[in-house]
């Protein structure tokens, strides 16, 4: 296991040109920045590495950017922001086929409402697709969403899932359900018309991130850093990028301790995706090429809330 971002840069055969960096569980915990995160961004910046944040948020990139701004990260330390919601929005803004969609998510998270060819309906019987974005107060978990999902399946609606994440770890260490659970459940429902996931680990979100930088970066010059074996690492490996797993913050933090070995971590990565259906269009490889405990320049001693010791 390496100590931090400086070790990652030293370990690579050639310096990366681009780092595709996860946010929640890597840079922040949903409440505050992790120790060393800004310094790690500065390290990448000073090394000439362009950073694009790649998030599985179902919101547009501009909305996620507004949320990120409250952490006061210097804008010169990163060159862009892409989200799962942004990838879906770009796809449907370029494909102007009219759609009537049934929406499952928070009211302020409906990213398609300003597209003239997309009409939201309140009855699955009148829809030609269902959009699953997030759980809400009305449907806080998969049990509360099942009746609506079954109604959509009875009408054979295809689903667009704008957040493939199934869970997120909150600042106090609690598990928060995410919209990807609806997509995974819908895959197995009788009559359902299939699921199109946007975001990590799928190709479109990475293509969009690199396009924002000009689109000509060789794959061996791209490094992905994230805390999720089934999204960040599976996705990065599938694209032929270098992959770095952040272990002691985010989704794996509560499962590890200071004495965890690299073998322990690789085993946990394989276990992490074992209970999930194999994502369509992806052959899952959840084992990272490099591992660091936290997103920091080097070794730090701090405890991530809800997680394990970083050093």
Residues 102 and 189 in one domain: yes
Q: Which residues of the chain have pLDDT under 50?
A: 302-311
**Residue-level pLDDT at 311:** 45
Residues 57 and 126 in one domain: no
Q: Which residue, among 128, 230, 148, 161, has the nearest Cα to 189 in the 3D structure?
A: 148
What pLDDT shows up at residue 279? 62
Helix axes 84-94, 61-68, angle to 10 degrees: 150
Q: What is the pLDDT of residue 276?
A: 65
Residue 303 falls inside a structural domain: no
Q: Find the CATH number of the domain harbouring 281.
A: 3.40.50.1000
Task: Indicate whether 307 belongs to any domain.
Answer: no
Residue 137: domain span: 96-197
Query: Are the C-beta atoms of residues 93 and 197 closer than 8 Å to each other?
Result: no
Which pTM value belongs to this model? Answer: 0.92
Cα–Cα dist 184/276, whole Å:
8
- 109 & 144 share domain: yes
The total domain count for the chain is: 2
- What is the pLDDT, as a whole number, of residue 172? 80
Residue pair 157/131 in contact (Cβ under 8 Å)? The answer is: no
Tokens 């598990």 correspond to what residue?
175
User: Within a domain: residue 238?
Assistant: yes
**Same domain assignment for residues 223 and 285:** yes
Q: For residues 249 and 311, is the Cβ–Cβ distance under 8 A? A: no
């Amino acid at each position: 296991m390496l100590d931090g971002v400086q070790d990652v840069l030293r370990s690579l055969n050639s310096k990366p040109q681009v780092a595709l960096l996860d946010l929640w569980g890597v840079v922040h915990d949903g409440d505050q920045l992790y120790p060393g995160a800004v310094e790690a961004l500065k390290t990448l910046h000073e090394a000439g590495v362009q950073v694009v944040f790649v998030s599985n948020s179902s919101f547009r990139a501009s909305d996620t950017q507004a949320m990120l701004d409250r952490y006061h990260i210097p804008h010169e330390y990163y060159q862009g922001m892409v989200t799962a919601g942004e990838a879906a929005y770009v796809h449907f803004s370029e494909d102007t086929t009219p759609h009537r969609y049934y929406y499952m998510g928070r009211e302020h998270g409906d990213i398609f409402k300003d597209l003239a060819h997309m009409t939201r309906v309140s009855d699955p019987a009148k829809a030609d697709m269902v959009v699953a974005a997030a759980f809400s107060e009305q449907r806080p978990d998969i049990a509360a969403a099942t009746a609506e999902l079954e109604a959509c399946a009875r009408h054979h609606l295809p689903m667009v899932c704008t957040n493939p994440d199934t869970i997120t770890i909150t600042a106090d260490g609690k598990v928060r359900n995410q919209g990807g659970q609806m997509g995974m459940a819908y895959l197995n429902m009788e009559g359902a018309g299939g699921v199109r996931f946007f975001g990590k680990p799928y190709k479109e979100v990475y293509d969009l991130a690199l396009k924002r930088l000009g689109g000509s970066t060789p794959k061996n010059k791209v490094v992905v850093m994230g805390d999720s074996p089934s999204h960040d690492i599976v996705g990065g490996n599938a694209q032929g990028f270098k992959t770095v797993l952040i272990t002691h913050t985010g989704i794996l933090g509560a499962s590890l301790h200071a004495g965890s070995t690299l073998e322990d971590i690789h085993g946990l990565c394989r276990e992490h995706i074992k209970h999930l259906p194999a994502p369509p269009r992806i052959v899952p490889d959840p084992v990272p090429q490099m591992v660091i405990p936290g997103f920091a320049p080097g070794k730090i001693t701090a405890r991530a809330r809800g997680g394990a010791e970083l050093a």
